[in-house]
A and B are shown apart, each in its own frame.
Chain A
Amino acid sequence: MAELSGWFPVAASHDLPLRHVFQAKLFDREMAIWRADDGNVNVWENRCLHRGVRLSIGVNEGLELKCQYHGWRYANKTAGCIYIPAHPANAPARQITNRTYPAVERFGLVWTTLEKDLSFDVVWPDGDWSVLRAIPVHAGPDAVAAALCKVLGAVPRPDIHAFAYALSTLCEAPVLALLQPQDSGKTVIRCLLSGGAQMERRLAVQANATLTRFRNIVEADASLEPVESEPVFEPVASELAEPPAASPDAMTVRVERKWQVAEGITGLTVVPTTGNLPAFQPGAHIDVTLPTGVKRQYSITDGPGTWKSWTIAVKNEPNSRGGSRFIAETLRQGDLLSVSEPRNNFPLRRDAAETLLIAGGIGVTPLLAMARALAAVRSGFRLHVFARSETHVPLADQLDGLLPAVTLHLALDPAQVAQRLAEVIGPHAPGRQIYACGPGGMTQSVLAIAEELGWPEEAVHFENFNNDHVIDTSSAFAVDLARSALSIDVPAGQSLLSVLRAHGVELPSACERGACGTCRAEVIEGTPDHQDAYLSRGERASNRHIITCVSRSRTPRLVLDL
């Protein structure tokens, strides 16, 4: 049917209790509408991008909407897919984002529009209004509008809305009616009653009875049987069929709060300058580009479905190359920062029976996000934080919210740390998973102890902040790029990544020190000379991937899938 521009009501506020998914339709487009636990109202296309199943039969998990078919989880507000259970060890491509519609909750109604960038412009008459029960009528909007005027003496109020009508015959109080066109054969009448928040039941019953009689008149010659029109859906964006693009994807955020979250550690809460923050997965980090030109990775510590702000924590390194020192000393509240979209090289499986999160100092940051995600779905986990003293525990106040699942281990010497790790790690059982993050020495201990205790490598996940290896760039080798049909020589002294870029091959990168894994490429042939701290031992042995910023080749030639 012909669409009208502007904002239309699609639900009443009272239609959206917590943990419910409401089904709506506007101009042939079906919508799944749900209120998150933080109060935000989401208006989404009623269709999971994966296999087209209606999201209105899905599960409102509070901060995520879970599709009923394959359990794909979409984040509050952004509708970004943040978890695909069929591949629990992989982070989904962050571009998988469900189609959303603008949502405004005003005058007791939820409004949306099919247009982009249209600011909410409905001006409401003064006074208190209460929302009556919506009445769907099996007739098109024009027919309903005409009948409202003819049968009920309604007066159009185009000053309020193209489909607004003043009604004085519904009950003893004045009523404003708004029409929501579902499709060419069905219209929902949404009425608001003037006169106080405490709607008089008698008036509501009266108005409902009058409208019901009105509906019977309008439908008298139309069948009650709905004519199912073909719902309209947006096609999936073409880039979803492609591998994720290596875009600079920078955005600007403002530092809303800066405070000391532990001894020698600065906390930053950043908010978007326009719009909302994109979806992120637990374990994800952002690249922060500082005015000094230095780029650093910091983990997002927030729980699932957060879209208004991110909190990161930065350790002030005495040997700082200009990153942490700038943040600790120069950066002020209100300053702007350039950050990347969230990237995840540390994906969290949510299919574990028990998840052990082991943090060393500042390494607690990605694990805090993981703990919150697991707590939100009541999945079993324990968070162990190792720190020099209580004052060295980052974001201690936020850990309180996760008690009793958090244990602090303070002021231990290396031997005691090793002993304590052995105790908390314990024997492996199916369904147990470890995520460790902290200084290189600590993650190495976790790996070694877990191996000793019989843990399989694929059950132990870690993220390093640093690559402690001394990088040897003395070798020279050739690379063939299978997809680009290019052969390039990498001379001694230059990194593979820099040579690739010099030949116009764009690869995303972040730390460029072999720690974060962002610049990983697939190896088709040849044996890499691994010098990174990102790949696990098994991944190294399989020689299927190479971290291009630091690693080189043991064979004269490498063939990469680029």
Chain B
Amino acid sequence: MNRTESEPSRHLWHPVATVAEVNGTLNTMLMGDAVTVRVAGDHSGIVVFHGDRKLPVIVRFGFIWTSLGSPPSDLFEIPEAAEADRRNVSAGPVGVATSAPRAIENFLDMAHFPFVHTDILGAEPHTEVKDYDVELKETENEILATRCRFFQPMAALSAAGGMEVDYVYRVPHPFCAVLYKSSGADARRMDVIAIFAQPTSEESIRAHLFLSMIDTTHTDSEMRRFQQLIFGQDKPILENQRPRRLPLDPRSETPIRADLSSIVYRRWLSSRNIGYGVIPAAGQSGSAVHG
């Protein structure tokens, strides 16, 4: 197991629960270690323990984030979530027997929509992934994929009929990704859906799903149900991927043009020396020795 201090992901912020989910005390796993989350009745005091050790805590988007190492002073933002008319809803967590990077890569992928989310996010024969742009934004140290478009028969609860949907993807954290897609309710704005993967071990996660939607007609329950239906379709795919850890050697799998964001993501993990939940490329300095 990759639990050394030199592993960079040990020093990242990781989500462990939603504030609402914790009914007093919640025991969960983070990178192979048991941690305990305690929330006071009025949500005022939130503490996370690793054994006797008190871990650092940040609360953002309604989630509790912590770290086993020395995390940076701040965590990425999703500015849209602060807009007054947004509906911010959590739709997880969902346990998945996969690595955090496999889950993130799947979240960035459009080509599977017709085959995995059939008749909802895609349908044959509309299978083409048109060329899109991916850039690594050095200042923010995050990946941005733009000009992504895909034909969808039922893009969201608020969508009527098929349409080509615009997507923007952000990867602001090695185990978190945020997507923006055309809102069915307001053509000028975009709905936000994010996945924050809590690595419970190298090959298992709790996927925290966060929605920030422009939707005045559906209940929180309905929005959750839709997102759980979608993620539930991804789950068996993720659990049938072998190896479960993401291989970073460019020659371990066969990418195509549609996989541009995944190519950049894998390279970015390599350059950041992330060794958790991945199989480092040969010659990569990865801090871990994998058995």
Answer whether A and B touch in the complex at a CB cut-off of 8 Å.
yes
What are 28 A-B pairs at a CB distance below 8 A?
Answer: A50-B253, A50-B256, A51-B105, A51-B241, A51-B253, A52-B253, A53-B237, A53-B240, A54-B241, A69-B112, A70-B111, A70-B115, A71-B124, A85-B128, A86-B128, A86-B129, A86-B258, A87-B256, A88-B125, A88-B127, A96-B254, A231-B242, A236-B251, A240-B251, A351-B125, A351-B126, A351-B128, A352-B125
**Which one, B127, B236, B242, B251, contacts A85 given CB within 8 A?**
B127
Chain A residues lying within 8 Å of B257, measured Cβ to Cβ, are 86-87
Cβ of B216 within 8 Å of any chain A Cβ, yes or no, is: no
Instruction: Answer yes or no: A519 CB below 8 A from chain B CBs.
Output: no
CB contact list, B244-265 vs A, under 8 A: 247, 250-258
Flag whether A233 is at the interface (Cβ < 8 A).
yes
Q: Which of B114, B125, B250, B252 has the most chain A CB atoms inside 10 A of its CB?
A: B125
Question: Is A292 an interface residue, CB under 8 A from the partner?
Answer: no
Q: Is the interface of B mostly helix, strand, loop or mixed?
A: loop
Distance (whole angstroms) from the CB of B253 to the closest CB of chain A: 6
Query: In the assembled complex, which residues on chain A have CB atoms less than 8 Å from the CB atom of B240?
Result: 53-54, 57, 68
Q: Does B64 contact A (CB under 8 A)?
A: no
CA distance in complex: A88, B112 (Å): 14
List A contacts of B127 (CB < 8 A): 71, 85-86, 88, 351
Complex contacts, A353 vs chain B, CB 8 Å: 125
Given A236-B251, A241-B250, A85–B116 Cβ distance below 8 Å?
Answer: no
**What B residues does A43 contact at CB under 8 A?**
none
Given A52-B243, A54-B240, check contact A240 B126 (CB 8 Å): no
B251–A235 contact, CB under 8 A?
A: yes
Known: A71-B124, A351-B128. 18 other contacts (CB 8 A): A46-B242, A49-B253, A50-B255, A51-B241, A51-B253, A52-B243, A54-B242, A68-B115, A69-B237, A71-B114, A85-B111, A85-B115, A86-B257, A87-B128, A88-B128, A231-B242, A236-B254, A351-B124
* Residues of B that sit less than 8 Å from A by CB: 105, 111-112, 114-116, 124-129, 236-237, 240-243, 247, 250-258
Judging by beta carbons under 8 Å apart, are A71 and B115 in contact? yes
Residues of B within 8 A of A238 (CB): 251
Write out the residue numbers on chain A whose beta carbons fall within 8 Å of the beta carbon of B105. 51
* Chain B min CB distance to A390 (Å): 34
Chain B CB within 8 A of A30 CB: yes
Whether the Cβ atoms of A30 and B241 lie closer than 8 Å is: no
Taking CB atoms, residues of chain B closer than 8 Å to A51 are: 105, 241, 253
Q: How close is B80's CB to chain A, nearest CB, in angstroms?
A: 29
A86 pairs with B111, CB closer than 8 A = yes
Contact in complex: B253, A86 (CB < 8 Å): no
Chain B residues near A241 (CB-CB < 8 A): 250-251, 254
Q: How far is the CB of B169 from chain A (nearest CB, A)?
A: 16
Residue from B124, B126, B241 in contact with A53 in the complex, judged by beta carbons closer than 8 Å? B241
* Minimum CB distance partner of A95 in chain B: B254
The smallest beta-carbon distance between B130 and chain A, in angstroms, is 10
- Bound state CA distance, A297 and B41, in angstroms? 78
Measured CB to CB, the nearest residue on chain B to A235 is B252
Within 8 A of B (CB), among A306-338: none
Contacts of B247 in A (CB 8 A): 52
Closest 5 CB pairs of A and B: A85-B127, A351-B125, A86-B111, A86-B258, A86-B129
CB distance from A372 to the nearest CB of B (A): 18
Given contact pairs A68-B115, A238-B251, A241-B251, A350 touches B258 in the complex (Cβ within 8 A)? no
The residue on B at minimum CB distance from A379 is B125
Indicate if A230 sits at the interface (CB-CB under 8 A): yes
Q: Say yes or no: A236-B252 contact (C-beta < 8 A), given A69-B112, A70-B115, A85-B111.
A: yes
